[in-house]
Each structure stands twice: as structure tokens, then as C-alpha cells.
Structure 1
């Protein structure tokens, strides 16, 4: 930040992802979702700082050193589908080469034929076309790069899969295929879980057990997916606005723009865009029943 100041990109992010569960983290661009994902895997810039705990079993991810993250966590304990997949692929190597190296490193499979077959199976799971495996990253469309990244993340059958915008660049059928495959990953082995970061609320509804809504670096609502997308619906006004913006739910955008993370108000960051705001919103809202709001919707409001 100009002048040497600091920006709190994510604050007070308290949540759990249980074995066998998918948690969808949703919110507008710039709210801190991808920063949170990067912090969990030690991928923040060198000048960034993180505090708190992020427990995966007995290991605190935020306290782990780079050697532990590189050799034990990434790919093995946490599989990552990155937000910008092309940037994570080596430009001078083919997709097949990436797949073979990942299979060998994470699964212990050896032998040229066995590795090739394992790579082909992973590509098929992600709907990556076999006739594109010998192409280099620059020869792939954005959607194909996304599918390549998904295939690579699925190889190791990691206990936690962290998918950061895994459906970017995909048409609706491929979106459904991708989130269904991510769901199968969770359901296909004991102890697996999925944290999916997405703008695509339809994809979140299809795959998630619970939904966490992030706004201006804070989680403002945490709810069961059935209740969030159905009845009684979201309790936070921002969450309700996100759903109202969907084409099949009114196509009404949330008014205004989110605040800059470097210039947040002392109280509720959403107050300036909220029709329910009052003077009390000048203070930071408490978290009650999973919702950080002074004036949350209650069932009586949602039926009105």
C-alpha cells in the first residue's frame, strides 16, 4: 500500500471443513477469498504476514515451514486447483509431462506404461481430451488449462482439495461435470474434504454442504447449503443480495461497490450498500448464529 501501510486482506476467518464435507466460499472479487487460499498453502508474497491457526490434523498450516509445505502438504495433504492455472504450468513441458511427473511424485506408480495409464485416468476424470495431452500450456484455451489443473489436483487423492475458481472458462455442462467430479472425490474416500472458492453460485449450490460468504475480508455468513439456497434463505443482507443477482432469481445487482480493503470503515463494511443499515451499524457487528450482522433477516422477513 502507498506510504508503507498494511492491508488486512482477511480478518477473523473462523470456519471448519469436516471430513466428507464440501464448504463453498463465495463473494465478490477482491473480498479476500483467494488470499485465504494462498495463506493455507504458504503461497502468499514474501512481504505478507499471516496469524492464527489453520489445522489439518495435527499440522498447523500457517506455522509450517517451506520444506514441510513443499514435501508434505502441497499435493499430498492438500490438492490445489489454482485460480490462474496457466501460470502454474511450466511453459516448455507438455500436459502429459506434467501429469506423469505428478503421478510419479504423489502416487508411487512406476513404469512408463503404468504412469501413462494413471495420467490418462486423471485426465479423463477432469474431462481433459486425450488428444491434447501432448500440447504445451500456450496451446491450451483457458478452459483446457483449467481442466488440466483439475486433473493434476485430483492425482494425489489428497485429504483436502482446495479448488480456487475451478469452473472458470468452462461451459455449463463442463461446470457440472467438474463440480460433480470434485464431489465424487470427497465422497469416494474416507477423510476427504473440499473447500471450493467460487463466484458461480449455481456450482456452489450443486456441490456444497455448507456456504461461507466473504465480504471485505470477513466471513459474514456461514450456513447450511440447503437452507441458504432454499428456505429460509440467507440471513445476511449481502448474502441475500448475491442470490437476488442471479438470472433465475431476479437479476438484481447489489447496489454500490465494495470498500477498498485498505480503507475499511470501523463498523459494518456493508452498511453503505445496505437498505437495512441504521446508526448501530457504525459498530462492528457481532456474529450470531453464523451471521455477522446487526439486522439479519429472520424467517418472518423472508416470508414477507
Structure 2
């Protein structure tokens, strides 16, 4: 990867906030998220289910319902603010062409009365791609006979792979993969992550949304940890996986099967009732009175009591 190309930010997000007005409450799904994804690199957005990861992805593509309130900025290649772009621009020029999306529930995104081949070929035609359906499908481990099946004849893993192929039909420079390994067994998880890594090596930017830290470690250059609508730690993947500084990030790492395999105690707060201070404080053994106020993001971590290497060495 050319160093000059890698330095280019394909996506720069600043202060992204998303809320939903519902009867008698407001859902604060994303709060003040700031991060960037560079060409030739992969950023993995990780966190427990329900923390706002998928909402963040859909906000970037203009796929939120009408009751969504969105603010902030999300610059694509330094020229187009995705959050203020019109629906026509997003639909006609961005989605599929400049940004490919691998959806979280692929089976619901496939037309039930058309074969996988027909849907992939339609995407290739609509986007003016010179790739062949069989060539693209093979990259994700689909055989020719799989393409001639209807969605109801596909396993969850096969449907996921079809969705992966469709996301690449327009040869986008930025790929957003929302739980791309959902429903896949471990060998196919490894294959999918390997393909995403190859896309980075080809010069694309990749944003992977996942709760699977093991999968994230396979592909990510950088990791952003999300908890209760906020990013709590952002940095190089190797540092966060080996020396996490936020107690929540440390808990996620420790909960992995190849680590301590111990779940974080307690439950995250409802997004309709977020506290004014640190949302993780009720689950954190390092919490103090200071945590009643919201900590700023400093040096990549938002915490009043960031963990240090000495603390890690003693099992903190």
C-alpha cells in the first residue's frame, strides 16, 4: 500500500449524533461519535448489541427512519458531507457506487422470488460494473450452483455471502460491513475477514461493525469501542486488544474465549435513560464520584480512571 494513499481519509466523522423521538421518550442511539477511516485500512467498531453501532452505519448512508434526528458531519473523501447530502445524491451517487453496504440481516434484503444470480447480476448491471457474477461470488466462497438458488433455499451463511458479493458489485472505495460474519461458522468467518483484509490491501477503506473481537482482530488496523451510544476508546487494534485503557474495553477483551472468558457483570443502560455522567460506571469497579460527570475523550480514551500498563499486569 502506497503511504500517500494510506494517509488519505476516505471517511471523517465528527460529532455524529442520532436520536429518535418515540412516544414519551427519546432514544439517544449515537452521541458525539468522531473517528476516521483511511484508505488501505480497516476500522472495527465493536461493542455489545444495542449500543448504537448499526444506527451509526445507517446514518452515514441515509437509511434511517423519518423520526431520526441527525447532526454532526461525515465527510466522504473530504468533499461530500453524507449527513447533509440529499436523498437523491445518496441513492444515485453514493450507495453502491462509492460506499458498499453489507447488511446485518442479509436474508431480509434479498428479493424472495428471484435467484441470487439474478439479484447479483442486476446489481452489477445497475452499477455499470465489468465484474462477472460468478467471479465475484467465488471470492466469497459461493459455488455456481449456489447462485441459482432462491433466498429461501440459502442457509444464513450463504445469504450473508450473497450480500457480501452484492456490496462489492459497484467496486466502492469504502465498504461498510454490518456484522458481516453473522450466521457463519468459524472457517467462513476467517474467509470473510480475509477477503475484507484483501480489500484493504487493494486500497479500499473498510468499516466493520461487529461484536466479535476475534473477527475484528483478524482484519482491523484500528478499533473504536462503543458503549451506550458513545465511543469510549479509539486507537490501533493491537494496543486496544493487548492493553485496553477503558475498563469496558478491557472487559470486552477479557470476555473472549481465548482470554479469561468472563462476562462483564451487569447490563448496559437503556438508550432512553442514559445518565449524565459515565454510562459504564454502574458496571465498573474503578468508578468514583468523578464518574457522575461525563469524561472527555483524551488521548483516545473517554474515562476518568483509564487503566495503565501496571494495572493490566496485576489483572485490573
Give the TM-score of the pair, scaled to structure 2: 0.90
Deviations 1:13-46 (A, max 9, x none): 0000011110000000000000000000011011
1:178 paired with 2:192, answer yes
TM-fit CA distance, 1:2: 5.6
Q: Which runs of 5+ in 1 are unaligned?
A: 110-114
Q: What is the alpha-carbon distance in structure 2 between the residues aligned to residue 228 and residue 130 of structure 1?
A: 40
Alignment of 1:11-30 (within 5 A): 11-30=31-50
Q: What is the alpha-carbon distance in structure 2 between the residues aligned to residue 176 and residue 147 of structure 1?
A: 13
Structure 2 counterpart SS, 1:127: coil
Find runs of 4+ consecutive structure 1 residues off by over 4 angstroms. Answer: none
Name the structure 1 match of 2:121.
Answer: 100
Alignment of 1:228-239 (within 5 A): 228-230=240-242, 233-239=243-249
What RMSD over aligned residues (CA atoms) do the two structures have, in Å?
1.2
Contact persistence 1:83–1:165 (CA under 8 A): yes
Match 1:264 to one of 264, 269, 274? 274
Which is helix-richer, 1 or 2? 1
Name the structure 2 match of 1:112.
Answer: none
Deviations 1:112-162 (A, max 9, x none): xxx7xx100110011122211111111111111101000111222211000
Structure 2 counterpart SS, 1:249: coil
Alignment of 1:172-211 (within 5 A): 172-189=186-203, 192-211=204-223
Q: What is the alpha-carbon distance in structure 1 between the residues aligned to residue 100 and residue 143 of structure 2?
A: 21
Name the structure 2 match of 1:288.
Answer: 298
Alignment CA distance shift 1:169-1:264 (3 Å): same
Give the TM-score of the pair, scaled to structure 1: 0.94
Name the structure 2 match of 1:69.
Answer: 90
Match 1:82 to one of 103, 114, 125? 103
Contact persistence 1:25–1:197 (CA under 8 A): yes
1:156 paired with 2:165, answer no
TM-fit CA distance, 1:103: 1.2
Match 1:10 to one of 30, 55, 74? 30
Name the structure 2 match of 1:147.
Answer: 161
Q: What is the alpha-carbon distance in structure 2 between the residues aligned to residue 255 and residue 129 of structure 1?
A: 43
Q: What is the alpha-carbon distance in structure 1 between the residues aligned to residue 198 and residue 29 of structure 2?
A: 32
Q: What is the alpha-carbon distance in structure 2 between the residues aligned to residue 247 and residue 180 of structure 1?
A: 21
Contact persistence 1:128–1:151 (CA under 8 A): no
1:165 paired with 2:179, answer yes
Q: What is the count of residue pairs matched by the alignment? A: 293
Contact persistence 2:129–2:171 (CA under 8 A): no
Match 1:276 to one of 279, 283, 286? 286
Name the structure 2 match of 1:248.
Answer: 258
Contact persistence 2:100–2:167 (CA under 8 A): yes
1:223 paired with 2:232, answer no
TM-fit CA distance, 1:108: 4.1
By relative contact order (CA 8 Å, sep 6+), the higher-ranking structure is 1
Q: What is the alpha-carbon distance in structure 1 between the residues aligned to residue 151 and residue 171 of structure 2?
A: 23
TM-fit CA distance, 1:107: 3.3
Structure 1 counterpart SS, 2:34: coil
